[in-house]
Structure 1
Amino acid sequence: MTKIGIVLHSHIPYVMGHGVWPHGANYLMEAVSESYLPLLEVLESIDGENLLTFSITPVLLEQLLHPEFEATLKSYLEERLDAAIEDYHYFRRIGDEQGEVLSKFWIDFYEKQLLSNLDIAGRFKKLYLHGKIEIITSAATHGYLPLLGYDRCVDAQIKVGIKAFERFFGKRADGIWLPECAYRPSYEWVNPVTGEKSKREGIEYFLAKYGIKYFIVDSHLIEGGEAVGVYIERFNALRLLYERMKGEKRVERKALSVYTPYLVTTHPSPVAVFGRDKRTGLQVWSGEHGYPGDEWYLEFHKKRFPSGHRYWRVTHPKCDLADKKIYERKRALERIKSHAYHFRTLVEEIAGRIDDGFILAPYDTELFGHWWFEGPLFIGEVIEQFKGSDVSVDTPGNYLKERMPEEIINLPEGSWGKGGFHWIWFNEWTEWCWDKIYTCERIMIDVANSKGDERIKSLMARELLLLESSDWEFLISTISAKDYAENRIIQHYEDFMKLYELLKKKELTEQDIKYLNFIDERDRVFTFVKADYYV
Structure 2
Amino acid sequence: MSEGTFCLVLHSHLPWLARHGSWPVGEDWLYQAWAHSYLPVVDVLHRLAERGHRDVLTLGVTPVLAAQLDHPYTLRAMHAWLADWQLRAHATHARLPDTAYREHRAAAAALETFEHTWRHGGSPVFRGLADAGVVELLGGPVTHPFGPLLPGRVRRFLLDGGLRDTTRRLGSRPEGIWAPECGYAPGMEREYAVAGVRRFLVDGPALHGDTAAAHPVDGSDVVAFGRDLEVTYRVWSPRSGYPGGPDYRDFHAFDHASGFKPFRVTGKRVAAKAPYAPDRAALAVGKDAQDFVATVVRRLRELHARRGKPGLVVAAYDTELFGHWWHEGPAWLEQVLTLLPDAGVHVTTLRGAVEAGHVEEPVVLPPSSWGSGKDWRVWDGAAVRDMVADNTEVATRLLAAVDGVPRSTGRDATLDALAVQAALALSSDWAFMVTKDSAAHYARRRAAEHRDRVRELTDLLPAGRHEEAARRAASFTAQDDLFGHLDARQLATARARTLVTA
- Provide the TM-score with structure 1 as the length reference: 0.85
Describe the superposition over 1:493-512 as per-residue Cα deviations: whole angstroms up to 9, x where unpaired. Answer: 11111122332354655x65
- 1:527 positional shift: 1.0
Cα distance, 1:74–1:296 mapped onto 2, change above 3 Å: same
Distance of 1:171 and 1:41 partners within structure 2: 23
Q: Which residue of 1 aligns with 2:500?
A: none
User: Given that residues 421 and 454 in structure 2 are in contact (C-alpha distance below 8 angstroms), is that contact kept between their aligned partners in structure 1?
Assistant: yes
Q: Tell me the residue number matched to 2:154.
A: 153
- In 2, Cα distance between equivalents of 1:482 and 1:215: 29
- Distance in 2 (CA, whole Å) between partners of 1:329 and 1:288 is 25
Q: Which runs of 5+ in 1 are unaligned?
A: 92-98, 186-201, 225-256
AA at the equivalent of 1:81: Q
Is 2:499 aligned against 1:494? no
Q: What's the secondary structure of 2:376's corresponding residue?
A: coil
SS in 1 for 2:404: coil
Counterpart in the other structure of 1:63: 68
Q: Retained in 2: the 8 A contact 1:286–1:292? A: no
Taking the TM superposition and a 5 Å limit, the aligned residue runs for 1:136-535 are 136-148=138-150, 150-185=151-186, 202-223=187-208, 257-265=210-218, 269-286=220-237, 289-320=240-271, 323-354=272-303, 355-403=309-357, 405-451=359-405, 454-504=412-462, 506=464, 508-509=466-467, 513-535=470-492
Specify whether residues 297 and 451 from structure 1 end up closer, same or farther in structure 2 by C-alpha distance, changes over 3 A only: same
Answering whether residue 23 of structure 2 is matched by residue 24 of structure 1, we say: no
Task: Give the alignment's TM-score, normalised by structure 2.
Answer: 0.91
Per-residue CA distance 1:63-103 (angstroms, 9 max, x = gap): 11112121110111122221111111x23xxxxxxx31221
Aligned partners of 2:218 and 2:329: how far apart in 1? 37
**Alpha-carbon contact 1:286-1:293 (below 8 Å) kept:** no
Shift of 1:447: 2.2
Q: Deviations over 1:452-487 (max 9, x none)?
A: 681111111111111110000011111111111111
Which residue of the other structure, out of 78, 81, 86, is the alignment partner of 2:91? 86
- Listed one character per residue, the Cα deviations across residues 178-210 of structure 1 (whole Å, up to 9, x for unaligned) are 11111111xxxxxxxxxxxxxxxx111111111
Are the aligned partners of 1:287 and 1:317 in contact in 2 as well (CA < 8 Å)?
no
Cα 1:28–1:9 shift into 2, 3 Å: same
Secondary structure of the 2:37 match is helix
Q: Which amino acid aligns with 1:328?
A: A
- Partner AA of 1:498 in structure 2: E
> 2:31 & 2:123 partners in 1: Cα distance?
14
Unaligned segments of structure 2, at least 5 residues: 304-308, 493-502
How far did 1:306 drift? 1.4
Asked if the contact 2:413/2:470 (under 8 Å) is kept, the reply is no
Q: Secondary structure at the match of 2:365?
A: coil
Greater helix share, 1 or 2? 2
* Residues 181 and 508 of structure 1: CA distance in aligned 2, closer, same or farther (over 3 Å): closer
Name the residue aligned to 1:41. Answer: 43
Percent identity of paired positions between Structure 1 and Structure 2: 29
Supply the AA of the counterpart residue of 1:13.
Answer: P
Distance 1:204 1:291 in 2: 35
CA contact (8 A) 2:204 2:226 kept: yes
Question: Which letter maps to 2:154?
Answer: C
AA in 2 matched with 1:492: H
- Distance (Å, rounded) in 2 between the aligned partners of 1:413 and 1:456: 35
Q: Distance in 2 between matches of 1:399 and 1:282?
A: 21
2: CA distance, partners of 1:110 / 1:505: 54
2:135 to 117, 133, 136: 133
For 1:229, the equivalent position in structure 2 comes to: none
- Report how far residue 274 of structure 1 moved: 0.8
Instruction: Deviation per CA, 1:31-51: give whole Å up to 9, x if none.
Output: 101100011111111131100
- Does the 8 A contact of 1:63 with 1:69 survive in 2? yes
Contact 1:444 1:534 in 2 (8 A): no
C-alpha displacement at 1:21, in angstroms? 1.3
In structure 2, distance between residues paired with 1:291 and 1:494: 42
